[in-house]
Structures are given as C-alpha cells and as structure tokens.
Chain A
C-alpha cells in the first residue's frame, strides 16, 4: 500500500483520519515492510468498516491483515447496541469461531523422535481430514441442539476430555446465548456427521517442538520448556458455520436498506444488534461458536487416544483454546468509561491482559495465552495478552501468517510431492489426503509469520512468549 495515505503514529501504528462517511478513524498495526506489502483492498475495506453505524473508537487491522469479505481478514471493530450499533455476518466470516488450541504432551522432542513416522501415520488415520471426510459421531436433532447449546462442555459430558479442559477454553468452553432454533435445518444437515473432522484448506493438526522462549515468566506459567512437544489443532465450526454465514449474509444484504443502512460493499451486510435479524444472527453465530469448541474438543480427544496408544502414560493437557472469527459482547473502557461492546474479530485473536476476570484463576495474573498458527512447515508462536493491549484494539492480536499469493500461483510454483519430500528432509512430516491441497498451502504462499508476530509484539497488542517448530503436520 502507498504509505502516503497514512499518518504514522509510531513505528508500528498507522492511522487514517475519518473522511467521507467514516464515523471513526481506521488504524493499522504493522511495520513498514508489512504495510507496504498489504493489499490496497485492506485500506478500502477498513475505511468501509469505519462507516458502519454505532462503531466505537476506530476500525482496526492487525499486522497479518489481508483482503477479506467486507471486513479485511485481520480486522477488529466494536459496536455499541445502544448507539445503533450493528452486527455483521461478514465481520465474523464464513468459518465462525475457527481457532487454535494447543496441548502440552510433557514429552521431549527426543522422546518422540523414534515414533515420529508412526505418530504421523496414526494421527492421519485416526483424525478425519480433507474433503468429504466424516466423523464417528452422528447427531440426531436433539443431540445437535444439545451440542449447539453446550459446546466443549457438551463434548466433555459425552466423554471427550475432562472438565479440567473447560477452564482453558474461552467462555469456559460454552458460549452463552446460543440459540439452536435460529440455526437452519440446512446448516444442521451439513453438520450431522462432521463433528470431530479437521476440514481442509489451511486447517491442520501439528506436533510442534518449543524451540525458543522469549518470556521466561509467562513460559513458566504456561509450562513451556525448550525441547518439549505440544500439539496444536487449527479448525473451526465446519459446514454448520459456513452455512450460517452464507444464509445470514444473504438475509442481511436484503434487509439492510429496510434498516436505513447504506452498504458501500454488499459483503459488509449487517443488521442492528437490537433488531430481530441481528438477534437471530447472534443466537445462530453463538451456536456455531459452540460447534467449533465441541469440534476441537473431540479432535483433542482423538489425539489423546493416539498418544495413549503409542506412548502409554502420556497426558495431553490443554494450554488454551482461542477462536479468531467471532463477535462477542465484552466490557471495554473507552475514554475512561466502561461500555459493553459487541467486538467483531475477523481473523484476529482475543488477547486479554493480566487481571481480566474472564481468565481462569491460574492464568489471571499473567494474561491470556494467544496462539498464533504459522503456515504448514513454518514456525508458530505463543504470545500472552498484555496490559497495553487492553487499551488498543479492544484486546486483540494477530491470528496467523496471512496469504501472500493466490492458490493458483502457489500450484504453479510448487508441486505437492516435491514439497512433502523437501519438508521431510527438513524434519517436518506432512500427511494429507490431497497433494494439490499441499501445494496450495505451500509455506512460501504465506507471509512471514515471524514478521507479523514481531509487529504485534512491538505494537503492544500481545507479548512474545515462545516459538514453536513443526515436527508433524496433518493437513486437511
């Protein structure tokens, strides 16, 4: 992007003063190299978001921002229901509550080295991944509604994992206010046999080695030690979330003129939070959040089964579970006043700092773990929410690397088989049902996640704690 269109506030903060119909400024957190490489569409989409009714403080973009649907991916915006604020299906995205959870294995990389191939093969065989895959569970109508109300708690009640996991999940594993009745039959039909499946695209399950610690105090509290192995699971609400996104987007496009909302871009479709359509979407979207939480809880259970089988006595304990496509009602202090705001995070991670009441007791004084997934074969990071982050971008941080190149371009540059072999020679085992899918997700097709994390750290959104290196990647 052309840097001349911004006012540079600091080395990593760039502001666009309101113009035209913008109600608030737009702010991008990124270093010079990242912002220069960002698509012009981020500028256009972020300034569009700033025109929406009831937006509070500013429209924000994280360092990994790129061209999304209506909202940029990596966009954060908060709305006040009492000031005519809106909720936007595009501002949450199609893959509602897509997120990452990371579990501790307590094992050293050296312990699993002789079993790496077998672990990779068994995880790939045990965890359904890729197009058309189905899970073990078949949900009837009642079970479906119970799952959509209960989230990870529902999964625990059905024997997937333990109650101790729930403390380490946002919303204690169960999003309140979910209304399964607002979820269409089609959406439920898409989900009948998809619980416990990874999906495809950029979704994965990885075994990762902790290779570097930046913040020993936080690392101690998260029990992260160099040389140890963790499991990270990246997936979302599967077909149910996609269908909810699709259906409400259309309803909001059609209804917007009736609410007097002028849309600069149809994908920005939204409805007043207090209107029946806004409330219906919130009820359905929260049900989809529960679906994602249940899904990751079941996949974590399947992972535990594989470890218990190959490495008896291993206990996988949950470090944390974050979601990065959500809209949540949260208290935030704006201009010295506490307000309850509907915070949209589209490709952005919640990052509560120390002392936040929503954090479990054992993490409250240190802050929330912020899990950042890299692309296949590259580093991932664990960060921690900060005091300063709470005053910027409504406690939000980046969520990953972000694509730098289209899928077509990627398949022209890389071949799946060669890529798998090359990564294997670097000690990263890839298992995937689709070689073309692997080529489309080539590490080189993504931006440098380290640069993104560095910028988030320097902007004070969250603080770097540890860097992880992949050992095994099960690719959807």
Chain B
C-alpha cells in the first residue's frame, strides 16, 4: 500500500501558498487494512479514514461513475486495484489532480504543473460534467486565484452543462454554500464573472445577472452599468476584509434596479423598496442564513438614506436608527454603515473621496443614546412615552449637528493609518484631524479634559501647517505622556494657536493601541469637499 498527498495541498505548495489541510489518497489497501493500522473510518458514502495521530484525512483510491441527476447520483468504486491515475482522473481541474508521494516526488499525469504555470483552470476529463457543483467550484477558484483564467474548452463544457439543464439539479443549500465561500475570497467579482461567462449566473442568481446592462446616472455612478457597480462594491468589501453579511449585503443592495422599466433609465426612483422584496425572495430561495438576510434587507432598504444622512431632518435620522435597530444592535448598525460605505467606494474615483455619512450617523447614534429614556418616560404620561423619547432623541441629534457636522474619520494605508478631519471651517477640520489622531491610539471620547496645553505653530502653507500642528501634538503627547481628547484651534494666515485638553495615559482606562511616531506628508491634503466642507488629512506613522 502507498499513500500520497493530493489535491489542494499539492497545488498550494507549488504556488508557494500556505497549506492548511492535507488530504491523502491510499492506493492498494482495503478498509480492513486501514482499520488494522489504527485509522478511524469516517466516510459515509466512500471509504475515508482519519490518521490515528495527525487526524488528517486518508481516502482509499476510488473511481466514481454517474448514476443519476445532480451531485449525489454517483456510484463509487473503491478497491485495492484502483490506481492513483484513475483516482486523479475523477477530479475536477488539472491543477487539483496532482499527487505527491512520501519522498516528495510529484505525480502529474494530466498537466497540472503546465496549467499552474499558464494560470489556467482546465478540466481533467469529460467526467467533470457529471457534477454541476464543479461549475460553482471553478467560479470560486477564479475569485481566489485571481490571475487564473478558465480554459476555453472548460468554459464550453460548463456552458453545455448549463444548456442541458444539469445545473438546475443543484440543491439551494449547496448554491448558497459555494456562493458564500466565494464571497469570502480575495476578488468575489471574478466568481460572478465566471458564472456569467458560462451562462450559469442567469440560472442560479437571475436577479444579479439582470443588473448587467442596466444604466445608472453618470453623475453619481461613473461606471454607469449597475452590474459593474455591484461587482466593484463586493470587491471593495473583500479588499477591506469585511464579514460575510456585509459582503452579501453589498452584493444585493441594488437588486431593485434590475426591475426598473427601461423607459425610466437611468433613474431608479424607489428602487430600494423593490430591492427589499427581491432580497427576501432570493434569501428564501437559496436558504440564506438569518444574519445575512437581515443585514441585506436593512442595507437594501436604507442605503439611500444613509448616503443622504447629512441632509436628513433629525427626526428622520432617529427613524433610520430605529429601523436599522441601532439602539439594540450596535454591531449590526456598524455592519450596516460598512456596507453603505462599500456601496459608496465601489465607484471609479470614489476610493479616497471623503464620505462623511458613517461618522455622522455614528455621532447621531451616540447623541441619541445619551438621552436618558427612563427619565423622559417618568416625566410624561404613559401614552406619550414613545413619542417623548423619540422627540428627545431628535433634539439630541439636532444639537450634535449644530456643531456643523464636524467629524473625523480614518482612511487606510498599508502599514500605518490615515487621519482626516472634516468641518465647516478650516479650524474645525484641524480640530477633528487631531481627534482622528487620538483615535489611532484610543477612543477620544474616553479622554478627560483635565489638563490644558497651549500650542502655536506657523508654516508656509495650510498643508505644512497641518503636519506641524499634528507633530506639535505628538511631541506634547510623548514628552508629557498625555492623551488629548478636546481641541480648540484658531487660525490666522498660516499661523495656528490652539489649546488641547487631555489627561495622563492610563493603561487600564485607555488601552492605548499604539504610539504615534510622526505625522507625514503622505496623502497630505487640505481643502474643501464637494459639499463645501473643509477637510484636512494625512497619514501618521505608527
């Protein structure tokens, strides 16, 4: 008897990728031989065993023959005389049909190395067509190995499987399982593209397929095509390592645009409501789990409101917070904001644009949460409690807004962090950038204003002045071991005079994540955004 490492482990090692799980094939053994050696039998449909120490999977070499429709209709034949080549032949792609013996020698009867080098997904044999799940698997691999392409003959074979109805035999759970895994890969759009290329997307997820070719208004969507937009959004979500619910919500937020009558294009008024119905139906059909469904419904319904957050009346903002269940489920609200931000960033040229809505809505929630609902409830008659709490929250949101929508945010940088402040005046933007910098270290709302430090600086232009201002703060933080939470800046012709309030670093209270070394000239910009607000930003080295 001889054992080989097979499949993904061999492929990933040749690609220089980390190998997570190793599967083994055993040639020339019977189930009884395996049990006698201490292996533990686990396979229901075919003979698979766990190694007594490593618990890695060992399967007896086998062949499979199609005996019915769908992925379960197989006759399995495992016997000592089945050869390694026969076992490899039943596998899906050449790059997955290689084996390695105990001495490390590679067995590659179907050109797996050649296809790895050429970065091609090619089916091993016509037996590929016997299992429609393989279409989804190839598409998922396309999302993971994003420089590979599907061989033309493999694509043609997949298309035949779609045309002859084999694809319709897939059970809904299996479709969701593969789509969910593909969404978690590096570039999910490639999965949908691969499914579209063979016609499978129209059968499996027609509501996504029909978004391609639907135009949107170019002033908000430079990419125009709704399908292209949705793909940019899921890829952005993947790039930002978002969770599965956020990625699924990103995929489905605009489904309603697919049913807009063409005579109304490129407008899609009220598409959010139609999206909600379509998301519910889709989730029902492919059995999407509740957490993914609920977030997808919320994002489909309210992404437009989130984008317009700064224009909404305070009461409408509170309604939005209530609808998204932000008061009880702050984690889901955060996921909601992440999905809305992906929707915004998934447009060409929008990757670095200021997007103040999430920070504003977070601040609104913060203000509304600060309302003492118990006290409000005790102050009015029972019938008016709900209304009174709502009004108090709306007033709190209005009060927080009167600061002119000043807020801060972070933007990504590979090794460090970008800080950005936004406000009605340049001075307010400088104050907010300083808060953003504190937030790199700790939550600025948790820093008490116990000590005041006076800061003055001067520079040839606003950008250099921003870097000077931040570096002056970094010096004071480092030399005095302080954290700052509140800032007041006044500016006069590139001269800055400011007071920063803070307190000494307290490890238990502040849990400071990292020390800031310096503010840099990278991504350094000071100016006004489209809505006329000032912003000031740069990357800080940590």
Tell me the A residues contacting B by CB distance below 8 Å.
31, 33, 36, 39, 41, 66-69, 73, 94-95, 130-132, 134, 186, 189-190, 192, 199-201, 239, 242-243, 245-246, 249-250, 253-254, 265-267, 269, 402-403, 405-409, 412-413, 433-437, 440, 448, 451, 476
- A132 to B441 Cα, complex, angstroms: 11
A407, B517: Cβ atoms closer than 8 Å = no
Which residues on A sit within 8 Å (CB–CB) of B241? 405, 409, 412-413
- Could you show 23 A-B contacts with beta carbons less than 8 Å apart? A33-B17, A36-B147, A69-B521, A69-B541, A131-B512, A131-B514, A132-B504, A186-B475, A189-B479, A190-B475, A190-B479, A192-B479, A200-B542, A239-B479, A242-B474, A246-B471, A250-B467, A266-B521, A267-B521, A412-B240, A412-B243, A434-B512, A434-B514
Contact of B515 among A201, A403, A435, A440 (CB under 8 A): A201
Main DSSP-derived SS at the B contact region: loop
B40 within 8 A of A: no
How far does the Cβ of B313 sit from chain A's closest Cβ, in whole Å? 32
- A436 to B542 Cα, complex, angstroms: 14
Which residues on B sit within 8 Å (CB–CB) of A245? 517-518
Contact of A132 among B413, B468, B507 (CB under 8 A): B507
A250, B468: Cβ atoms closer than 8 Å = yes
Which residues on A sit within 8 Å (CB–CB) of B243? 412
- A437 to B481 Cα, complex, angstroms: 18
Which residues on B sit within 8 Å (CB–CB) of A476? 515
B414 within 8 A of A: yes
B478 within 8 A of A: yes
B240, A132: Cβ atoms closer than 8 Å = no
Which residues on B sit within 8 Å (CB–CB) of A249? 518, 520-521
With A200-B515, A253-B521 given, can you name 10 additional A-B contacts, CB distance below 8 Å? A69-B522, A94-B517, A131-B505, A131-B515, A242-B518, A250-B467, A266-B524, A267-B521, A403-B415, A408-B412
A190, B417: Cβ atoms closer than 8 Å = no
A250, B415: Cβ atoms closer than 8 Å = no
B410 within 8 A of A: yes
- A368 to B22 Cα, complex, angstroms: 38
Given A201-B515, A413-B241; A130-B414 close (CB under 8 Å): no
Q: Give the B interface residue count (CB, 8 A).
A: 45
Contact of A246 among B504, B505, B518, B522 (CB under 8 A): B518
Q: From residue 483 to 525 of chain B, which have CB atoms closer than 8 A to chain A? A: 504-505, 507, 510-515, 517-522, 524
Which residues on B sit within 8 Å (CB–CB) of A199? 515
Interface centre among A95, A200, A246 (most CB of B within 10 A): A246
- A406 to B418 Cα, complex, angstroms: 10
Which residues on B sit within 8 Å (CB–CB) of A33? 15-17
- A39 to B475 Cα, complex, angstroms: 31
Q: Which residue of A lies closest to B417 (CB)?
A: A407
Given A130-B507, A134-B481, A245-B518; A451-B16 close (CB under 8 Å): yes
Interface flags for B240-283 (1: CB within 8 Å of A; 0: not) read 11110000000000000000000000000000000000000000
How far does the Cβ of B243 sit from chain A's closest Cβ, in whole Å? 8
Tell me the B residues contacting A by CB distance below 8 Å.
15-18, 147, 240-243, 410, 412-417, 441, 460, 464, 467-468, 471, 474-475, 478-479, 481, 504-505, 507, 510-515, 517-522, 524, 541-542
A433, B541: Cβ atoms closer than 8 Å = no
Which residues on B sit within 8 Å (CB–CB) of A436? 511, 513
Closest 5 CB pairs of A and B: A132-B505, A131-B512, A436-B513, A242-B517, A266-B521
Which residues on B sit within 8 Å (CB–CB) of A408? 240, 410, 412, 417
Given A132-B504, A451-B16; A412-B417 close (CB under 8 Å): no
How far does the Cβ of A75 sit from chain B's closest Cβ, in whole Å? 13
B513, A406: Cβ atoms closer than 8 Å = no
How far does the Cβ of B408 sit from chain A's closest Cβ, in whole Å? 14
A407, B475: Cβ atoms closer than 8 Å = no
- A66 to B519 Cα, complex, angstroms: 19
Interface centre among B474, B505, B511 (most CB of A within 10 A): B511
Contact of A67 among B242, B413, B441, B510 (CB under 8 A): B413
B512, A267: Cβ atoms closer than 8 Å = no
Which residues on B sit within 8 Å (CB–CB) of A186? 475, 479
A409, B512: Cβ atoms closer than 8 Å = no
How far does the Cβ of A325 sit from chain B's closest Cβ, in whole Å? 11
How far does the Cβ of A98 sit from chain B's closest Cβ, in whole Å? 10
Given A67-B415, A132-B505; A200-B475 close (CB under 8 Å): no
How far does the Cβ of B440 sit from chain A's closest Cβ, in whole Å? 8
- A41 to B467 Cα, complex, angstroms: 22
Which residues on B sit within 8 Å (CB–CB) of A41? 414
Contact of B518 among A94, A433, A435 (CB under 8 A): A94
B542, A407: Cβ atoms closer than 8 Å = yes
How far does the Cβ of B539 sit from chain A's closest Cβ, in whole Å? 8
Interface centre among A132, A189, A245 (most CB of B within 10 A): A132
Which residues on B sit within 8 Å (CB–CB) of A131? 441, 505, 507, 510, 512-515
B413, A190: Cβ atoms closer than 8 Å = no
- A269 to B512 Cα, complex, angstroms: 31
Q: Which residue of B lies closest to A403 (CB)?
A: B415
How far does the Cβ of A260 sit from chain B's closest Cβ, in whole Å? 19
A440, B464: Cβ atoms closer than 8 Å = no
How far does the Cβ of A422 sit from chain B's closest Cβ, in whole Å? 15
How far does the Cβ of A68 sit from chain B's closest Cβ, in whole Å? 8
B413, A406: Cβ atoms closer than 8 Å = yes
Which residues on B sit within 8 Å (CB–CB) of A265? 521
Given A132-B512, A434-B511, A434-B513; A239-B520 close (CB under 8 Å): no
Which residues on B sit within 8 Å (CB–CB) of A73? 415
Q: Which residue of A lies closest to B443 (CB)?
A: A436
Which residues on A sit within 8 Å (CB–CB) of B410? 408
B521, A406: Cβ atoms closer than 8 Å = no
Which residues on A sit within 8 Å (CB–CB) of B510? 131
Given A131-B515, A250-B468; A433-B521 close (CB under 8 Å): no
Interface centre among B519, B522, B524 (most CB of A within 10 A): B522
- A253 to B410 Cα, complex, angstroms: 25
- A190 to B541 Cα, complex, angstroms: 16
- A246 to B410 Cα, complex, angstroms: 21
A448, B412: Cβ atoms closer than 8 Å = no
A132, B471: Cβ atoms closer than 8 Å = no
How far does the Cβ of B338 sit from chain A's closest Cβ, in whole Å? 8
- A245 to B541 Cα, complex, angstroms: 11
Which residues on A sit within 8 Å (CB–CB) of B541? 69, 94-95, 242
B16, A267: Cβ atoms closer than 8 Å = no
How far does the Cβ of B18 sit from chain A's closest Cβ, in whole Å? 7
Contact of A267 among B414, B416, B471, B520 (CB under 8 A): B520
